[in-house]
A and B are shown apart, each in its own frame.
Chain A
Amino acid sequence: MAMTVTKPGPAADTAAGPSRRAKNFKSRVLIPYAMLAPGIILFLVFMAAPIVYTLVLSFQKKKVSGLGLGKGSQSQVFAGFENYVSALTDPEFLGSVLRVLLYGLILIPLMLGFALLFALLLDSRRTRAGSFSRTAIFLPYAVPAVISSLLWGFLYLPGVSPFHFLARQFGVALPSLLDPNLVTFAICNIALWGGVGFNMIVMYTSLKAVPSEIYEAAKLDGCSEIQTALRIKIPIIAPSLVMTALFSMIATLQVFAEPTTLRPLANSLSTSWSPLMLVYRDAFTRNDVYSAAATSIVIAAATFIISFLFLRVVQKRAFGQEN
C-alpha cells in the first residue's frame, strides 16, 4: 500500500516534458479513461439513456381510432408540450405538491433537530453506552420503508393497535392517526423514525473529525459542554448539516413508499397523494406512460432547481471558511 503513495511536488511536474508526449497520452488520457470507463458506461446505460428515453416519451401520446380494439387501432403520435401543459395545470398535481410541502415543513426540521441532538449527546464526554445508543438510533434506517410502513400501519389502525387497546382500558379514546387531518403526521412519524439515524450518523461522523485540541482550548477557556456544542461543534459541522438538509429535501419531494403502503388501510390517502404516487398511477394504473414521463421530468427539474437554489443560499455561510 505504502508503495503506491507518490509524493506530489515539483519533480512530478518537470517529468511532463513535450518529449514524452506519447507516453503522456497513454498515462494522462488512456489509462484514466479506461479506469473511468465502467463508471461512465454504467452511467450512460442506467442513468443517461433512461432520462433521454423519458424525455422522448414525454413528448408523445397515444392516439386511438374508432373503437380502439384490435390491430393498428392505436398509435403513438407526437404531442408537443401537451403533456407538460396538462401536468402543470392538473389540480391533482398541484394538490400533491402542496401536501408534500406541508409534509416537508413538518418533517425536515424535526428530523434534523433530533439527529443533531442525538449526535451532540453521543459526542459529549459524559455519554454512557455510546455505541449501543448509536446502533439503536441507527437501526431503523436499515428497515426498508415498506416494512416500516406496514409495521406502523398496524400500530395506527385502531382495531389492532396496542396503543388504542391500552388507551381503551383506561377509558380514553385516542384519535386515529389515519384520519385525513392527521395522516400527514402519521407519514412524518414513519419517515422520522427511519431517517433520524442516518442523519445522526452523518453529523456524528463529522463531529468525530473535529480535532480535539479545539475542545481542549475551549475547556481551558472555561467553556461549558452546552457552550461548546452551540459555539464550536455546530458551526464546525455546518457543511454536514447543509448536506443532510439537502438530502432530506430531495427525499421529501420523492416520498412514495410510506403513503403507498398506508393507502389501502384507510380512506384518507388518495392514489395521487404525493407527486411520485401520481406518476406511478398514471404510468401503471392508467397505462398512460406519456403523461407520467412529463410529470417525472417536471419533478426532476423542480428537485434540481430547489437543490441549486438552496445550495446557493447556504453555501457561502456553510462553506465560507473552507475556501
Chain B
Amino acid sequence: MRKSFRAGAVAMLAAAAMLTAGCSGTSGTDAGSANDPNQKVELTYWAWAPNLDKVVEVWNEKNPNIHVTVNKQDGGDPAVTKLLTAVKAGSGAPDLIQAEYQKIPTLVAADALADLSGTEANETKSHFPEGVWDSVTLGGDALYAVPQDTGPMVFYYRADIFEKLGLSVPTTWDEYAQAAKAVHAADPEAYLGTFSSNDAGWFTGMAQQAGASWWGVDGDAWSVNIDEDPTNKVAEYWGGLVEEGTIDNKPMYTPEWNTALNTGKQVGWLSAAWGPGVLSGNAGATAGLWKVAPMPQWDASKPSTGNWGGSSTAVTTQSKNAEAAAKFATWLNTDPEAVQALVKETGVYPADNAGAKSALTAAPEFFSHQPDFYEVVADAAQNVGSFTYGPNVNVAFNAYNDQFAKAAQAKQKSAFSDAVKSMQQVTVEDLKQTGFTVK
C-alpha cells in the first residue's frame, strides 16, 4: 500500500516536471525572433475540420522549423466564441484559426485577425475565385485569411424516383416548382424539398444566387441590402411553394428529415459541394440512388449559384509568429500536395482553383455511380456570385431563424415577404444601436 503510494507520488512529480518543462519550452520559442529562419517556431491551430491534423502532419515532416499543432474544436461557432473571449482577455488565442467566411467581419471588428497583406499570403489571389477572395479581404486592401474550402450550391435528387415519375431534372426554378407539384401529387407524403427556417446559410446561398449581397461598404458607412429585389424574389418564390403545400415547411437536420431522406419522402436536396458527406451519414441506405445536378436557375442563359458554408485559415492578432503562420496558411490552401491531402483527408471542396481541378478526379464514394460528379460541382463553383458579409451576420441570421420560422409555420406567401422586411429592420437597428454608421 505504502510502496504503491510512493510510486504514484513519484510518477505525479515526474508528470508535473514534464508539464512545466513543456510550458517553459513553448514560452521560450514564443519569445524568439520570428525573423531568424533557423529559429524553431511552435504554432497552434484551432480547427474543426475532421482529420485536418493528418494534413498538418505532412507540413510538420517537411518543415522541422515551423511546427504546427492542431487543437481540435467543436465547430465554427464555439471556436469563434472562444477566440473572442481570448482576445478580450488579452491572451490564450492560438496562432491560427479556421474561420467561416461569414464570421470574418465579426472577428475583424473585434480586432482578432491579423492583416496578412504584407506576407506571402497576399500573392495567392490568382488561386481563388473572385467572390471568395472578396470575402477574405472584405473588399479592401487588407487580407484577413487565406480561403480554404467553399460550398458552391448544387441540386441533389433521387434519380430512381425521378425516373419512376418520368420527371426530368429541373433547370429553372419554374421547372423546379412543377417537379415539386408532380412529386407531391404522386405521393402526398413526399416532397421535392423543404423550406428550412433553421438554416440561414442555406437561404443566404439562394439569395446570393439570385444576385443579393446583404451588406455593403460605402466609405465609412455600412449598408444593409436584405429587403431588396433578389432576396424578396427568393422569399416569395418559396413562400408560394410552401403556401401551395407542394414543398415541406419543416426544418432540415431533424430526425424526421433524416427519416424522410432514407425513406424517399424527401426526393431532393438543395445543398452544397459537401452534401455527399451528409447524405452518406444520414441516409446511408440510399447509396447509389442520388445524383447531382446544377442548381435550378432564375435565368437559364446566365447560370449562377450561391455558396453555403466554407471556411478559411486566419492568423490571430495574438500570434507572435504571424509571418510563419501566414507561410503555413498559404501552403495549406494552395500547395498542390496540401490541397490533395485536404480533399483526401477532410473531404472538403477546396477553394484553390487549380488544386480543385487536379485533386478532384474521382467522384466521392456515395456518388461513385456518377463519374462526372466533380465536373458538375466545378462548373457550379465558377458561377458563385460575390457576396459581402457585414459585422452583424449573427444578428441577421438569428432574425432569419425567428422570422422565417413564423412564416413557414403560417404557410403564407405574404408572411415570407414580411420576414424579409423584419430581417432588414432588425439588422439595421442593431447596427445603429451599436454606433455603426448605416446608409
Contacts and interface: CB of A to CB of B under 8 A. Distances in A.
A72 B317 CA distance: 13
Contacts of A66: 220, 437
Contact of B111 (A61, A71, A269): A71
Contacts of B142: 70
B247 to A, nearest CB: 14
A61 B434 CA distance: 8
Given A73-B109, A74-B109, A180 B409 contact: yes
Interface stretch (A30-38, A235-243, A280-288): A280-288
B198 A264 contact: yes
B143 to A, nearest CB: 13
A203 to B, nearest CB: 37
Contact of B402 (A68, A157, A265, A271): A271
Contacts of B254: 157, 264-266
Nearest to A291: B433
B106 interface: yes
A63 interface: yes
Interface in A62-88: 62-74
A303 interface: no
B220 A69 contact: no
A68 B259 contact: no
Interface string A175-205: 0000010000000000000000000000000
A294 to B, nearest CB: 13
A14 interface: no
B26 interface: no
Given A69-B109, A158-B256, A271-B402, A266 B435 contact: no
A303 B408 CA distance: 35
B405 A69 contact: no
A6 interface: no
Interface string B176-220: 000000000000000000000110000000000000000001001
A296 interface: no
A52 to B, nearest CB: 18
Contacts of A272: 402
Interface in B291-315: none
B251 A266 contact: yes
Interface residues of B, number: 44
A160 B256 contact: yes
Q: How large is the interface on A (under 10, 10 to 19, 20 to 34, 35 or more residues)?
A: 35 or more
A270 interface: yes
Nearest to B217: A67
Given A72-B111, A73-B109, A160-B259, A63 B435 contact: yes
B255 A160 contact: yes
Contact of B398 (A153, A264, A265, A281): A281
B264 to A, nearest CB: 13
A286 B395 contact: yes
Interface in A18-71: 61-71
A71 B318 CA distance: 12
Interface in B93-116: 105-106, 108-111
19 contacts: A64-B435, A67-B220, A67-B221, A70-B111, A71-B317, A74-B110, A154-B255, A266-B251, A266-B254, A267-B251, A267-B406, A270-B401, A271-B402, A272-B402, A281-B398, A285-B398, A286-B392, A286-B430, A287-B394
Q: Lowest 10 A-B CB distances belong to which pairs? A: A159-B256, A267-B405, A267-B409, A64-B435, A157-B256, A270-B402, A267-B408, A68-B109, A66-B220, A69-B108
Interface of A: 61-74, 153-154, 157-160, 180, 264-272, 281, 284-287
Given A67-B221, A265-B255, A286-B398, 12 more contacts: A63-B434, A69-B138, A74-B110, A159-B256, A160-B256, A160-B259, A264-B253, A267-B406, A271-B402, A272-B402, A286-B430, A287-B394
